[in-house]
Amino acid sequence: MRNASIAYGPKNPVIVNNVSFDVDQGEAFILIGRSGCGKSTLLRSLAGFQELRSGQILLDGKKATAPGPDRMMVFQNFDQLLPWRTAVQNVEFAIKKAGSKGAGSVRQRALDALQMVHLSAAADKFPSQLSGGMQQRVAIARALAVRPRIVLMDEPFGALDAMTRASLQAEVLRLQREMNMTLVFVTHSIEEAVYLGDRIGLMTPQGVFEGIYTNAFQGRVDSPEGTEFAGELRTKLEASAV
C-alpha cells in the first residue's frame, strides 16, 4: 500500500490517512487497533471492495484495484457461505468462479482443501448443518483452494467460543507456515496478533500506523517473553486511543 487514503464518499473525512506499508511473500501481517480506527476499511481496500481516495495498492508491482481471485477474503460472519450448496460445493464454486487452474479435478481440489482444514467428513453437509467453527473452516478452505497470492482475514474468529477460536488459530498458523501463505489479518485481540503475526501494524483512531512491530513470538504468545511483548503492545494500543 502506497500513500493510501480512504474515505466513504467525497465529502466525508478520511478514515485511513496516507498509509504506506509492504507485506512480503509468506508473511503474516496483523492489523490491530481500537474499534472504528479503520482496520476493516483498509482490508476491504486491499480486497478491492473499497476504492482509495488517493494512493495505490500494488500486488507484485502491479496496480490492484478491482477484486480478484488473487486476493481472497475470509469474513467474521458465518453466513459467508452459500447456504444452498454443501461444503465441498461451496469450495468447488469458488475454484470455478476464479477460473483457477491446477492439477486434478475441481472436485478433488475442493476435497483436498477441505482436508487441509480437517473437514473431509463434513464435505457433503450444508452450512446450516455445520457449527460456526466448521463454517469458518470451510471459508478458509474456499479461500485457499483458489490459490490466491494473498489471503485477507477480517476477524474470522471473532464470533467463536474461546476453545474453537484457539484451535482455528492453530490451524491458520500451521497453514500459514506450511503453505508459506501471505496473510493480512485483522483482529481486536493482541494475543491473537502475537500468536499469528510476523509483524503487527498498530493503527490509531487517526487512521495511521502508530507503529509496525516485528514479532519474535509467533506461535508462542504464552511464553514469558511473548506475554511481555503483548503487554507492551497493549500499553501502546491504550495510549494510541487518547
Ligand X SMILES: Nc1ncnc2c1ncn2[C@@H]1O[C@H](COP(=O)(O)OP(=O)(O)OP(=O)(O)O)[C@@H](O)[C@H]1O
Residues that bind ligand X (CB under 6 A): 8, 15, 33, 35-41, 188
CB of 207 to ligand X, least distance (A): 8
Closer to ligand X by Cβ: residue 58 or 241: 241
Length of the chain measured in residues: 242
Query: What's the min distance (Å) between Cβ of 106 and ligand X?
Result: 34
Residue placing its CB nearer to ligand X in the complex, 39 or 71: 39
Rounded to an integer, what distance in angstroms lies between the CA atom of residue 41 and that of residue 19? 12
Q: Which residue has the cell 465441498?
A: 88
Range list of H helices, the chain: 39-47, 87-98, 106-116, 132-145, 162-178, 190-196, 224-240
Q: Measured from the CB atom, is 96 or 234 closer to ligand X?
A: 234
Residue 13 DSSP one-character state: P
What's the closest the beta carbon of residue 40 comes to ligand X, in angstroms?
3
- In the complex with ligand X, the residue whose CB is nearer, 23 or 186, is 186
CA distances from 218 to 46, 125, 214, 229 (A): 23, 34, 10, 11
User: Least distance in Å: CB of 196 to ligand X?
Assistant: 16
